[in-house]
Amino acid sequence: MATQRRAYGPSGKHLDDYRPGGAPVGTVLLWHGIGPDERDILEPLAGAMADQGLRVLVPDWRSDAEDGGRAHLLESLTHARSAGGPLVLVGWSAGAGAAVGVALHPDLFDGWAPTAVFGVAGRYDVPARTTGVAPLDDLAAGRVPAAPVRLAHGASDSVVPVEHSRALATALRCAGHAVHLEEPPTDHAGVIMTEYDAEAGRCRATRDEAALRAGFALARGVAMVCGGVGAAQGGDSSPHSRTPYLES
């Protein structure tokens, strides 16, 4: 796996570009949460995805920008689309609602939609930062997701309770749309293979077994969507396989 830093749009923001050892089976655009410019906290999860044969783009974006980060998010999506091939959009925390909003608004890109969208530990009853409309309100108004939606949420999340993902899953099913929700036994930080460091005020890589397993399950799920390969690409499903990476 190799990682490069590059600018991704007119705003001059940067992203980390994780490349697998061989030809990628697809591209993942991975959005962090509300903390401004926190792409680094997604390093463990991005590495796990790259181990599954995926190219992973992790951009900085600023929730404190005048538009709430909308321009940064959409610029990063424009950049990711240029990679070609399957593109899966994954968002964590505030990034989750932003990602699901894209699935509900293909008009953002003239009818284009990602291969699939994964919402991780998100809220869907507040305006998505990509669209300005809460995904639950979009569904109530009759909007139809233009891409499959999959959800993951730590069962012990006290920052954004799992009921928020359950509510979206219920709304999608009631509208006749298939949705898959995973509830791993971890918390808000653990679902992305991290733990919250109260002193630093941010997430950091963890060795917690439940958190690592949650991240690997998410990585394999994304890889399967991109081509049904996952571990067949050489990714190790054991949390301990990522130990050297987490120490880097």
Q: What is the pLDDT along the chain (248 residues), one digit of tens a residue?
A: 889 999 999 999 999 999 999 999 999 999 999 999 999 999 999 999 999 999 999 999 999 999 999 999 999 999 999 998 899 999 999 999 999 999 999 999 999 999 999 999 999 999 999 999 999 999 999 999 999 999 999 999 999 999 999 999 999 999 999 999 999 999 999 999 999 999 999 999 999 999 999 999 999 999 999 875 443 344 444 443 333 222 22
Distance CA 10, CA 19 (A): 23
What secondary structure, in 3-state letters, does 31-68 show?
ECCCCCCCHHHHHHHHHHHHHCCEEEEEECCCCCCCCC
Say what the pTM is.
0.92
Radius of gyration of the chain (CA): 16
Cα separation, 195 vs 206, whole angstroms? 6
Q: Where are the domains of the chain?
A: 2-247
Is the backbone of residue 240 left (phi > 0), alpha (psi -120 to 50) or beta?
alpha
Q: Which residues of 34-71 are buried (b: 16+ CB within 10 A; e: fewer)?
A: bbeebbebbbbbbbbbbbbbbbbbbbbbbbebeebbbb
Encode burial over 91-112: b for 16+ CB neighbours within 10 A, e otherwise: bbbbbbbbbbbbbbbbebeeee
Q: Which helix (H) or strand (E) holds 213?
A: helix 209-227
Q: Provide the β-strand partners of residue 13.
A: none
Q: Is the distance from CB of 77 to CB of 29 less than 8 angstroms?
A: yes
Instruction: Name the fold adopted by 2-247.
Output: Rossmann fold (3.40.50)
The candidate with the shortest Cα–Cα distance to 164, out of 181, 148, 185, is 181
128: region left, alpha or beta (phi > 0 left; psi from -120 to 50 alpha): beta
Contacts of 12 (CB under 8 A, 6+ apart): none
Q: Which residues contact 247 (CB under 8 A, 6 or more apart)?
A: none
Tokens of 139: 């569904």
